[in-house]
Amino acid sequence: MKELTTALKTGLTGELTVPGDKSISHRAIMLGALAEGTTTIHNFLQSKDCLSTLKAFQDLGVEIDNQIDVVTVRGVGLNGLKQPQKPLDMGNSGTTTRLIMGILAAQRFQTDLFGDDSLSKRPLDRVCQPLRQMGAKIESKTDKLPLTIEPSQIKPITYDLPVASAQVKSAVILAGLFAQGKTQIIEKQPTRDHTKRLLNTFAPDTIQTQADKITVNPPKQLVGQTVEIPSDISSAAFFMVAAATLPNSDLTLKAISLNKTRTGLLKVLEKMGVQLTFKNQRNLSGEPVADVQVKTSQLNAIELKESDIPAMIDELPIIALLCSFANGTSKITGAQELRVKETDRIAAVVTEFKKLGIAITELPDGFIIEGKPELTIVNPQLSSHKDHRIGMTLAIAALKANQSLELADAEYVGISYPSFFEDLEKVMR
């Protein structure tokens, strides 16, 4: 049980650089491993999920030197991975699992994958289906972990994504690198495009997009790069919401990715009436970034629907908290994907917010939230539900509470943000 900081009288002030982007960190290791030559990664996210990816590629025979500040990957080329000595441990990481499946489907050796209890309940049929169409041999009773991937020859397909998922899109792209011919993916609802951006720096023109059609042109080789990873907007989100809602806040989050497939939260903040200022706009390894200043603001309620969701999917728990402090009733729908995250995030948000006295109604695909300025605690024993983003959302909520609160399974924040509580201390002073 972790005692949370409550009843914060001051706002959040100063500057904060949150750790590197989780999605880009996974992809930098994967592409670095498949490249010819050395890839040097700066600002790699040293969190449990990303370390699952790093370790898996070490087990696949890739030399990776993790010096914390700099990670050096000695690429083995597209055909250089080796059969691991033991099953690969995916930990809690859905991104590691779904993306690596695309790569492993095309190898000449068999691999076994397993993960923790939460990950073993999450659906993989969404990845198995297109990969099997490409010729992959994936053995699993329920299309969940544990599973076995057998050697196969990958062929190109045209795949119409049935679910808005960057992980599924990326699995097909990565398998497509090994196909004899062009793979095409139809993506009606745009999702994060980091695989495309990074891949095109390792092998220009590998991915082309035209309207909703993504074409993978299998490259002869990827060439090792220096990758500078921007700060993760999904981690900065907790501080942005805290700064917007706590009195007298003036906080600048440095080097945040402004990739429009990820900036749904910024649009939501602005629409709800939050003052944002963008400074020092620049480019880091193909991603637009800026320093984002957030000040305390009066908040209006908001309505979010299915087409809004992919660009803010991981921020929805903290957006729900933002809505709970707005004037009026907010409604979020079309977010059924939250049901299959690290925990059922709709159920977890509703259960925990009720303990905080927030008037929230559960919908099959979202929530209705009535805003009010203060919390009225009903039950001070909170739980992260072993989900990093639920844990961090509750830690931010606690800052507004007028009595002590405890959080069970708080250590799960380390899945994406090991220094979260220390960073929060820094900006509270």
The catalytic residue positions are 314
| Percent helix / strand / coil, the chain, rounded to 5 | 35, 25, 40
DSSP states of 48-116 as a string? HHHHHHHHHHHHTT-EEEE-SSEEEEEEE-TT-----SS-EE-TT-HHHHHHHHHHHTTSSS-EEEE--
Numbered residues of the known binding site for 3-phosphoshikimate: 22-23, 27, 165, 167, 314, 341
By CB atoms closer than 10 A (0-12, 13-18, 19+), residue 276 is middle
Among 95, 97, 245, 285, binds ligand S3P (CB under 6 A): 95
Peptide bond into 373 cis (omega under 30): no
Site string for ligand S3P, 303-342 (x = CB under 6 A): ----------xx----------------------x-----
Which of the stretches 36-44, 148-156, 162-170, 372-380 binds ligand S3P when contact is defined by CB under 6 A? 162-170
Numbered residues of the known binding site for phosphoenolpyruvate: 22, 94, 122, 167, 345, 389
Among 47, 53, 167, 393, binds ligand S3P (CB under 6 A): 167
Q: Is 30 in the site for ligand S3P (CB under 6 A)?
A: no
C-alpha distances out from residue 214 to 165, 208, 261, Å = 14, 6, 15
Among 39, 47, 170, 206, binds ligand S3P (CB under 6 A): 170
Nearest CA-CA partner of 131 in 100, 97, 154, 161: 154
Which of the stretches 83-91, 163-171, 262-270, 356-364 binds ligand S3P when contact is defined by CB under 6 A? 163-171
Give the nearer residue to ligand S3P in terms of CB position, either 128 or 405.
128
Q: Is 165 in the site for ligand S3P (CB under 6 A)?
A: yes
C-alpha distances out from residue 99 to 10, 240, 395, Å = 42, 29, 30
Give the nearer residue to ligand S3P in terms of CB position, either 55 or 192.
192
Q: Is 274 in the site for ligand S3P (CB under 6 A)?
A: no
Interacting residue ranges for ligand S3P, rule: CB under 6 A: 23, 95, 165-167, 170, 192, 313-314, 337
